[in-house]
Chain A
Amino acid sequence: MNSKIAVLGALLAGSLPSQGTLAIKAGRLIPISGQELQNATVLIENGKIKAVGTDIEVPWDAKIIDASDMVVMPTYVTAHTTAGFRTGNENLANIPYITVADGIDPANAYFEESLRNGVGTIHVIQGNQTLFGGQGMILKPYGKTIEEMAVRSRSGLKLSLAPAAGSRMAQIQKMRRGLEDIVEYIADHERKRQEFEREKAAGATSDESFDEEMDPLKKPMVDVLQGNEKAYFYIPSAVELAEARRLIAKYDLDVVLVLGPRCHQAVESLAQSGIPVILDATMEYETTDSETEVVSSHCPAALFTKAGKEYALSLSTSANTMNRYPWWQMATAMRNGVTREQALASLTIVPARILGLEDDVGTLEPGKAANLQILTGDPLKATSWVETVILDGEVVYERDRDGRLRHLFGKDRADRQSVKN
C-alpha cells in the first residue's frame, strides 16, 4: 500500500508545430466574443488566430484537428494567483524589488494542473502577507524555462493591507507612512535634479546631465507612484476598503483590487467605482450573527453581478477543494444567479482586460493568440474534460497523454506493476 510511484510517464509531450497553418474543426464553438457557433472552424497561422467562422476555407496544406464532436473555447485566464513557486510569501513588509520570476519553478505541478483545467494565461504574483510586495509576471503554464513561459515579464506590484501580526491599524499606518516615504524620496530626487540644473546653468559643474540614479530598492514603488506600474492591491475584508480607496485616490494609483474571502460588504461601494476587482476563490460563505446565531449566506460574485459590475474569478490552488476547477467556480456563480455568459466572461475576457491582455487572449477572434481548449462537452458540465490545450498555436496538453490522469484512472497499471518494488 501507499507505494509511491517513482516514474510516471512523460506528460504533456505533444508537439505540433506552431509554424504553418492549423485548422480546428469544432462541433460547437464558444468564442466568448459573440454567439456560439455550430460546426465552426478556427484557422491558426503562426500561433495567431487567423479566422473564426462556419464558412472558413481551409488551406490544402493545413494540419487539421478534428473536434467535431467536441466544444472549442478560449483557454481560461487566471488574473491572480500566488502559486507556482515553493514559497509564495517572502513574509517581509517592504520588498518591492523582488520578482516572482526568480522564484517560479516551471516544473511546479501547479502549471500542469492549470493545463489540465484549461487555464492558458496566469498572472503569478507574490502572496498577500506583505506591505509593498514583489513584482508579478504573466505567463503561460507551458515551457521549460521562465523565458519560454513569459507572456509579460512584469505585471505590477503587490500592495497589501493584510494585517501583519494581527494589527489592522498598524498595517494601515505603515502603508500610509511607506507611501509618504516614497513621495518624499521622489521629491528629494527632484530637488537634487533641479539643484544640478541650477549648477549647470551657473557653470558650476562639468557634467552633461544629471546622473544620480534612483535607489533600485525603491524604484519599483516610485514607478507605482508615478503611474508607470500597476498595483495589485489586496484587501482582506471590506473593513480595509475605505482606507484603500482613500490611498488610491490620494496618490492616483493605477490599481486592481484583489479582494479577500469575505468582501460582500464591499460590493455596494465598489459597484460605482471604475476599479477592477478580482474575487477570492472562496465564492460562497456564511456569516453568523454573534447574538442571534442567525446564519446568512453570501456570494460576492452574484452581488457584483446584481450591481452591474464585472469581476474576475479566481481558482483555488488547494488540492482538496472543488474551487480549483473553473467549471465549479463558474457554476457556483450561476447557482447564485449569475448568467452563463457572465460566468464564462469572468474567467476569460474580464481577467484578460484586467491584465491588459484583451487584445491577445480571452476570446477567439482573429489576431489574438491561438490559445484555446478543446473540451469533451459543455464547459459548465462536471462530466466535461479538457481534451486538448493549444497555446500560441502549439498543442501543449492532451488528456490521453496526461500521466497523472492515466495514473488516477488506472490506465498505467501495467507500468505501475513494473516499477513497484
Chain B
Amino acid sequence: MKSTVAFILCVASVSGSLMAQGGAIVLRGATIYPVGSAPIENGTLVIEGGKITAIGDSQTPAPADARAIVCDADWVITPGLIDAGTSLSISAKNSNEQAKEVTPHMRILDAVEAGHRAFEKARNNGVTAVQINPGNANVIGGLGAVVKTWGGTTQEMLIKDASALRVTLGREPGSGNSRSGTQHNIYYRRPSTRMGTIWEVRKAFYDAMSYRDQKTIPGDAGPPPIDPGKEVLLQVLDGTLTVHTTARGEEDIRTALRIADEFGYRTVIQGGIEIWQVIDQVVDAQATVIFAPPSLNGANPDGAEGRSHTMNMMAERGVPFAIQTDSSLGERPLAHEAMVAMRNGLSFDKALASVTLVPAQVLGINDTVGTLEPGKNADLVVWSGAPFDPTSSALMVFIDGNQVVGPKTN
C-alpha cells in the first residue's frame, strides 16, 4: 500500500530516453526553422548522442565521422511536432473507467500500447511527442501521459507521466448515463446534466479538502485511510499538478475558469471551440488553450459552434494556444490541422509554434523538446517543402537522434 501511494505521489516523473544513439549525424542544405530563433537558409544541424549539438549556417563544422545527410534546397527542417491532446492507441472502451464518474487516480499510461499503429502514423506525419489523455466520459477522467511516438515499451517512450489531470465539462460525461432515457431504472447514473457534471467537479474538490483536514487534524479514529484519488486532487490544490479541462461551449469555458478560480488551481482549456465568444474572459484569466481540432470548422462535439477565425483571435489577443488533433488512431495528421489554421488566416510562425514550442510549454517539456537548439533532444522533421503545405510531406523524422521515418522518395 505504502509503495503504491509513493508511486502516485511521484507526479511528473521525468524519464530520460533510453534509446539515444551514439553515432553523429549532420544534416546540411535545408532551410531550418528552429522556432524561437530566426530561420536559417542552407543550414546545418548536428546530432550527437541523441541531442542537437550544433545548429547554424553552411559553415557550421561537424564531427569528421558524422553521417552526412545532404538535403535539397527546398527541404525544410522543423522541430518534431507535438500533439498536446490525443488518445493515441487507446480504444474507446479503454479510455473511460466506468466504475465512477470521478477517477482522478486512473493513469492512461497503463493503457497505452507501445507498438500501436497509431504511433507509426503519427511519426510518419512528423509528430514526435504526444500527450495521451483519458477519455471524456468521466467528469474527472484521470492522469494523462506525454510520450514520444517511438519506442519498444511505454517506459522507453515516456517523457512525463501524470502530465495533467483531465476534467471534462459539458454534456459528454453524462451522455452515456441514462441508457434507456428514463431516470427510473437501475442503469441510471449521475450526472445527466451540465449542472450535474459541474457539481461532480466541485464535490470532488470539497471532498479532497475535507480529506486534507482529516489528515491534518485527525479525530479520535485517527487519520483516514489513504485515498489515491483524493491525493491526486490535493496535488492540484497544492499547485503541483495541472488540470486540462475539456470545455467546448462558451458556458463550459467560463465555468472551467470559474471553478479553477474558486479552488485556486490552474487549468488549461482543452477544446475551446467557442472561445471566440468569451475571448475577454480567457484573456483575463491568462489561460492557455489546447485548441482542437481546427479542421472541425462548423459542427462540433457537444453542440459547440466553431468559428474559423478563433485562432487568429487568440493570436491577436496574446492567448497562448497549442493545436491538438484529439485523434485516437492518428487519423488526423497534426500538420493538416496547422494547414487549416493557416488557411483560416493564422501566420506560418504562429501555426508552427502552436504544434511545437507552445505544446512543449503547456506540457512542461520545453526544456528538452519543442525547439531546435543545442542541448535539446534531436527530435526533428525534414519536410519535402514548406511545412503544412498540402503538397509537402515528412521525408525523414528523427527522435532522439534515431531516424525513425524515411528517407521517403516519391
With a CB–CB cut-off of 8 A, which chain A residues contact B393? Answer: 335
B57 close to A (CB within 8 Å): no
Stretch with Cβ within 8 A of B (4 or more), from A160-168, A227-235, A320-328: A320-328
B298 close to A (CB within 8 Å): yes
Residue of B nearest to A320 (CB): B296
Stretch with Cβ within 8 A of A (4 or more), from B72-80, B204-212, B300-308: B300-308
B391 is contacted by which of A2, A334, A383 (Cβ under 8 Å)?
Answer: A334
Contact B305 A320 (CB under 8 A): no
Stretch with Cβ within 8 A of A (4 or more), from B32-40, B97-105, B219-227, B334-342: B334-342
Contact A322 B336, CB 8 Å, known A383-B342, A408-B297 = yes
Contact A408 B307 (CB under 8 A): yes
A382 is contacted by which of B296, B299, B306, B389 (Cβ under 8 Å)?
Answer: B389
B303 is contacted by which of A1, A319, A336, A337 (Cβ under 8 Å)?
Answer: A1
Q: For the complex, what is the distance from the CA of A328 to the CA of B388, rounded to whole Å? A: 12
Residue of A nearest to B409 (CB): A337
Q: For the complex, what is the distance from the CA of A1 to the CA of B255, rounded to whole Å? A: 14
A401-418 interface (Cβ within 8 A of B): 405, 408-410
Q: How far apart are B79's CB and chain A's nearest CB, in angstroms?
A: 21
Contact B389 A381 (CB under 8 A): yes
With a CB–CB cut-off of 8 A, which chain B residues contact A337? Answer: 410
With a CB–CB cut-off of 8 A, which chain B residues contact A383? Answer: 342-343
A303-319 interface (Cβ within 8 A of B): 319
Contact A295 B117, CB 8 Å, known A1-B303, A331-B390, A331-B391 = yes
B251 close to A (CB within 8 Å): yes
B249 is contacted by which of A1, A322, A328, A410 (Cβ under 8 Å)?
Answer: A1
Q: For the complex, what is the distance from the CA of A2 to the CA of B303, rounded to whole Å? A: 6
A275 close to B (CB within 8 Å): no
Q: For the complex, what is the distance from the CA of A332 to the CA of B389, rounded to whole Å? A: 11
Contact A322 B295 (CB under 8 A): yes
Q: How far apart are B212's CB and chain A's nearest CB, in angstroms?
A: 35
Q: For the complex, what is the distance from the CA of A334 to the CA of B392, rounded to whole Å? A: 9
- The CB with the most chain B CB atoms within 10 A, among A1, A336, A381, A410, is that of A1
Contact A410 B276 (CB under 8 A): yes
Contact A382 B342 (CB under 8 A): yes
A421 close to B (CB within 8 Å): no
Q: For the complex, what is the distance from the CA of A382 to the CA of B342, rounded to whole Å? A: 8
B309 close to A (CB within 8 Å): yes
Contact digits for B345-383, partner A, Cβ 8 Å, 1 yes 0 no: 000000000000000000000000000000000000000
Q: For the complex, what is the distance from the CA of A1 to the CA of B251, rounded to whole Å? A: 8
With a CB–CB cut-off of 8 A, which chain B residues contact A266? Answer: none
With a CB–CB cut-off of 8 A, which chain B residues contact A336? Answer: 410
B83 close to A (CB within 8 Å): no
Contact B388 A382 (CB under 8 A): yes
Residue of A nearest to B308 (CB): A408
Q: For the complex, what is the distance from the CA of A51 to the CA of B390, rounded to whole Å? A: 33
Residue of B nearest to A384 (CB): B343
Q: For the complex, what is the distance from the CA of A405 to the CA of B309, rounded to whole Å? A: 10
**Main SS of chain A's interface residues?**
loop
Contact digits for A351-387, partner B, Cβ 8 Å, 1 yes 0 no: 0000000000000000000000000000011110100
Contact A410 B307, CB 8 Å, known A2-B249, A319-B298 = yes
Q: How many A residues touch the partner, as a band?
A: 20 to 34
Contact B274 A1 (CB under 8 A): yes
Contact digits for B220-254, partner A, Cβ 8 Å, 1 yes 0 no: 00000000000000000000000000000111000
Q: For the complex, what is the distance from the CA of A383 to the CA of B351, rounded to whole Å? A: 12
Q: How far apart are A229's CB and chain B's nearest CB, in angstroms?
A: 38
Residue of B nearest to A405 (CB): B308
Residue of A nearest to B313 (CB): A410
A3 close to B (CB within 8 Å): yes
With a CB–CB cut-off of 8 A, which chain A residues contact B389? Answer: 331, 381-382
Contact A2 B308, CB 8 Å, known A295-B117, A334-B391, A382-B339 = no
With a CB–CB cut-off of 8 A, which chain A residues contact B305? Answer: 1-3
Contact A380 B410, CB 8 Å, known A1-B250, A2-B303, A295-B117 = no
With a CB–CB cut-off of 8 A, which chain B residues contact A380? Answer: 390-391
Contact B299 A319 (CB under 8 A): yes
Q: For the complex, what is the distance from the CA of A93 to the CA of B322, rounded to whole Å? A: 51
Q: How far apart are A257's CB and chain B's nearest CB, in angstroms?
A: 26
Q: For the complex, what is the distance from the CA of A328 to the CA of B297, rounded to whole Å? A: 16
Contact B309 A410 (CB under 8 A): yes
Residue of A nearest to B340 (CB): A382
Contact A409 B249 (CB under 8 A): no
Q: How far apart are B384's CB and chain A's nearest CB, in angstroms?
A: 8
A408 is contacted by which of B249, B274, B277, B298 (Cβ under 8 Å)?
Answer: B298
Contact A382 B343 (CB under 8 A): yes
Residue of B nearest to A322 (CB): B336
B307 is contacted by which of A319, A334, A381, A409 (Cβ under 8 Å)?
Answer: A409
With a CB–CB cut-off of 8 A, which chain B residues contact A381? Answer: 389-390
Q: For the complex, what is the distance from the CA of A418 to the CA of B308, rounded to whole Å? A: 21
Q: How far apart are B355's CB and chain A's nearest CB, in angstroms?
A: 15
State the 9 A-B residue pairs at the shortest beta-carbon distance, nearest first.
A331-B390, A337-B410, A408-B308, A1-B249, A2-B303, A382-B343, A331-B391, A334-B391, A382-B339
- Between A and B, 11 residue pairs with Cβ closer than 8 Å are A1-B249, A1-B250, A1-B277, A1-B304, A2-B303, A320-B295, A322-B336, A335-B390, A335-B392, A382-B339, A382-B389
Binding site for B on A (CB under 8 A): 1-3, 295, 319-320, 322, 327-328, 331-332, 334-337, 380-383, 385, 405, 408-410
- Other A-B contacts than A334-B391, A410-B307, 16 sampled, CB-CB below 8 A, are A1-B249, A1-B250, A1-B304, A2-B304, A295-B117, A320-B296, A322-B336, A331-B389, A331-B391, A335-B390, A380-B390, A380-B391, A382-B388, A383-B342, A408-B306, A409-B344
